[in-house]
């Protein structure tokens, strides 16, 4: 009970607005987070520390010039972090010309344009690392509000968009479907619009097409060096503690169907479609992950700070369970290159009995090879480093 109360109080304090004159000092807030991080276990030689305080921090896009890290949330604010040597030098609000509605998806093109994907709108900001302070003037809406998905399908459920720029220089966006299991009458609309899938378009918003279907709710995407797209997929609730598994999938080309809603995760059929004939040539996951652990942001490790065995490894955050009698997750997982088995890399935020001291959401690599991890419960970004023992 004491741990749960402490977690609640810490979460309440850290949800304060970063620019609103907090009643508690930054030093005190940092000390509370550092005390939580003493519980986090990592492999030998690794260390985790507080990097930045950004309320509701969920997704990350690291600028190539090293001048800015863009942070998406599920609320009304997005943030810009000015990197420092060991901690952020500054955290400021991103100020567009019109209010955001769930500015969750952030990604950067090779020429430095930031794409910010809200629940139902996409805006492009050119040369974002150098011009983000002029966002109100520089932003260009490339998908108007209401054009990303039909307004009839708007919902906070599964509306946390993520985006990536592919090797084909196109913008990829995941569109989670708003149901636990979509009813049959919705499937024709979803197949046409890409809801319950991944869409792609040119960087000016034209040429939209459906890239992949049969996806329930992906909140993490990453491209491998071979050009294939890997993504997490959160699977069906209310089927018991230990089924179905969540998924990590691989799409090496357009037009693949990953099985939902006929399959609720892995090879487990949904109750609603148990008697329906699935489409042919469905693609099953490369990695079946822990049921109801909520795998979200993923990234391939390309740096040289970590030991050699981590080169090319897939790191991903598990946000933690709500639909499970004994919660699991609230950790960072790793799948080494050439394997299909995931193991905990950073854990300790899950204290059991439904209590979390933090909930990791996304992972991203800095230029020095360290790894950033967001935590939306505490409203912070962590940094994981390595030094040979």
- Buried/exposed 243-278: b ≥16 CB within 10 Å, e otherwise: ebbbbbbbbeeeebbbbbbbbbbbebbbebbeeeee
- pLDDT, one tens digit per residue, over 123-170 is 999 999 999 999 999 999 999 999 999 999 998 889 999 999 999 999
- pLDDT, one tens digit per residue, over 89-126 is 999 999 999 999 999 999 999 999 999 999 999 999 99
How far apart are the C-alpha atoms of 241 and 292, rounded to whole Å?
A: 8
- pLDDT, one tens digit per residue, over 340-374 is 999 999 999 999 877 899 999 999 999 999 999 99
pLDDT band at residue 23 using 50, 70 and 90 as cut-offs: very low
Q: What are the sequence ranges of the domains in the chain? A: 2-386
- pLDDT, one tens digit per residue, over 190-204 is 999 999 999 999 999
> Mean pLDDT throughout 27-56?
95
**What pLDDT is recorded for position 352?**
81
pLDDT band at residue 24 using 50, 70 and 90 as cut-offs: low
Q: Largest Cα–Cα distance of the chain, in whole Å?
A: 59
**What pLDDT is recorded for position 10?**
37
**Where is pLDDT greater, at 291 or 18?**
291
How far apart are the C-alpha atoms of 352 and 334, rounded to whole Å?
A: 22
pTM listed for this prediction: 0.93
SS3 content of the chain, % helix, strand, coil (to 5): 15, 35, 55
CATH T-level fold of 2-386: Neuraminidase (2.120.10)
Which candidate, 361, 277, 278, 271, places its Cα nearest to that of 315?
A: 361
First to last CA, the chain: 36
Strand pairing of 209-213 and 256-257? parallel
């Amino acid at each position: 009970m004491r741990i749960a109360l402490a977690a609640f109080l810490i979460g309440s304090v850290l949800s304060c607005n970063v620019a609103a004159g907090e009643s508690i000092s930054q030093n005190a807030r940092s000390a509370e987070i550092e005390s939580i991080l003493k519980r986090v276990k990592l492999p030998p030689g690794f260390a985790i520390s507080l990097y930045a305080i950004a309320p509701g921090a969920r997704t990350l896009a690291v600028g190539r010039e090293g001048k800015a890290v863009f942070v998406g949330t599920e609320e009304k604010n997005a943030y810009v972090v000015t990197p420092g040597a060991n901690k952020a030098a500054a955290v400021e609000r991103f100020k567009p010309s019109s209010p955001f509605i769930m500015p969750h998806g952030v990604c950067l093109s090779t020429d430095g344009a930031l794409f910010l994907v809200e629940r139902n709108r996409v805006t492009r900001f050119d040369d974002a690392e150098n011009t983000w302070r002029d966002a109100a003037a520089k932003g260009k809406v490339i998908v108007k509000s209401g054009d990303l998905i039909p307004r009839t399908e708007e919902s906070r459920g599964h509306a946390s968009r993520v985006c990536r720029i592919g090797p084909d220089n196109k913008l990829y966006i995941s569109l989670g479907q708003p149901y636990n299991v979509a009813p049959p009458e919705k499937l024709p609309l979803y197949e046409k619009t890409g809801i319950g899938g991944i869409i792609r378009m040119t960087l000016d918003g034209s040429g939209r097409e459906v890239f992949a279907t049969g996806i329930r709710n992906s909140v993490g995407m990453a491209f491998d060096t071979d050009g294939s797209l890997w993504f997490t997929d959160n699977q069906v609730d209310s089927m018991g503690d230990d089924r179905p598994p969540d998924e990590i999938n691989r799409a090496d080309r357009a037009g693949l169907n990953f099985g939902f809603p006929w399959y609720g995760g892995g090879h487990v059929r949904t109750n609603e479609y148990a008697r329906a004939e699935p489409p042919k040539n469905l693609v099953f996951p490369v990695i079946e992950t822990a049921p109801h652990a909520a795998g979200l942001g993923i990234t391939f490790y390309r740096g040289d700070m970590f030991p050699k065995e981590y080169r090319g490894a897939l790191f991903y955050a598990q946000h933690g369970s709500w639909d499970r009698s004994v919660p699991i997750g609230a950790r960072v997982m790793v799948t080494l290159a050439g394997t299909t088995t995931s193991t905990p890399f950073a854990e300790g935020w899950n204290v059991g009995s439904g209590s979390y001291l933090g909930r990791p959401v996304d992972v991203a690599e800095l230029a020095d090879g360290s790894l950033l991890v967001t935590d939306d419960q505490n409203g912070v970004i962590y940094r994981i480093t390595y030094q040979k023992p």
